């Protein structure tokens, strides 16, 4: 969390960045419902500049296709809140934010419904975190509760936790 109220979360992010730096890993971030909060959390610790390439905030659905390479047919048929969309966002951002022709070694994404209320048949608090590491892509379904701001903050905390657990 970025408000300083969750020291354990801050420690987790700092440990994550230190571990990634030690391993020579790089991260690119694609965000929808979190709107830049995830990359803000990832760049908070010192040393993040050697790890984090940057982020694409693809809040508009068409940006997911045009910038991140998410399959437009998938977006039309399933909408933006879908595990495969999260996976394709994570994979696409690795290449969209390539540095000197080299993609990030890790892509992470968030897509979902922060509320208030449901969207396109998905309940408020439905979130998918996509993760692309090397040739493995996966997604993680979250069902979060609270206000819009609480859901977005919880999505960031969970994404950091997932990334830490998966590397």
Is the residue at 55 inside a domain? yes
42 pLDDT higher than 50: yes
- Per the structure, the complete domain to which residue 116 belongs is given by 7-166
Q: Strand 106-112: give its sheet, edge to edge.
A: 52-57, 27-31, 106-112, 126-133, 136-143
- Burial group, residue 141, by CB count within 10 angstroms (0-12, 13-18, 19+): exposed
- What's the pLDDT tens digit per position in 106-155? 999 999 999 999 999 999 999 999 999 999 999 999 999 999 999 999 99
What's the total number of domains in the chain?
1
Residue 167 confidence (pLDDT): 86
Supply the pTM of this predicted model.
0.93
Is the residue at 120 inside a domain? yes
| CA proximity to 17, closest of 47, 40, 61, 57 | 47
* Rounded percentage of the chain residues whose pLDDT exceeds 90: 92
Is the residue at 48 inside a domain? yes
Is the residue at 159 inside a domain? yes
Residue 9 confidence (pLDDT): 54
Is the residue at 54 inside a domain? yes
Is the residue at 2 inside a domain? no
- Two tokens, residue 105: 């070694």
* Distance, C-alpha 90 to centroid of its chain: 7
Is the residue at 53 inside a domain? yes
CATH at residue 106: 3.90.950.20
Is the residue at 1 inside a domain? no
The mean pLDDT of 8-30, rounded to a whole number, is 92
């Amino acid at each position: 969390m970025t408000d300083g109220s969750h020291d354990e979360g801050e420690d987790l992010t700092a440990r994550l960045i230190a571990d990634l730096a030690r391993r020579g890993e790089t991260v690119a971030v694609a965000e929808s419902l979190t709107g830049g909060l995830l990359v803000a959390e990832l760049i908070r610790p010192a040393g993040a500049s050697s790890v984090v390439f940057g982020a694409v905030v693809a809040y508009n659905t068409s940006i997911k296709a045009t910038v991140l390479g998410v399959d437009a047919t998938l977006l039309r048929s399933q909408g933006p809140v879908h595990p495969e969309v999260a996976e394709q966002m994570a994979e696409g951002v690795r290449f969209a934010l390539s540095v000197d022709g080299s993609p990030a070694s890790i892509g992470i994404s968030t897509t979902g419904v922060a509320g208030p209320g449901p969207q396109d048949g998905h309940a408020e608090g439905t979130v998918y975190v996509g993760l692309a590491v090397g040739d493995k892509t996966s997604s993680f379904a979250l069902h979060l509760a609270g206000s819009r701001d609480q859901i977005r903050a919880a999505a960031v905390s969970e994404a950091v936790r997932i990334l830490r657990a998966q590397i």
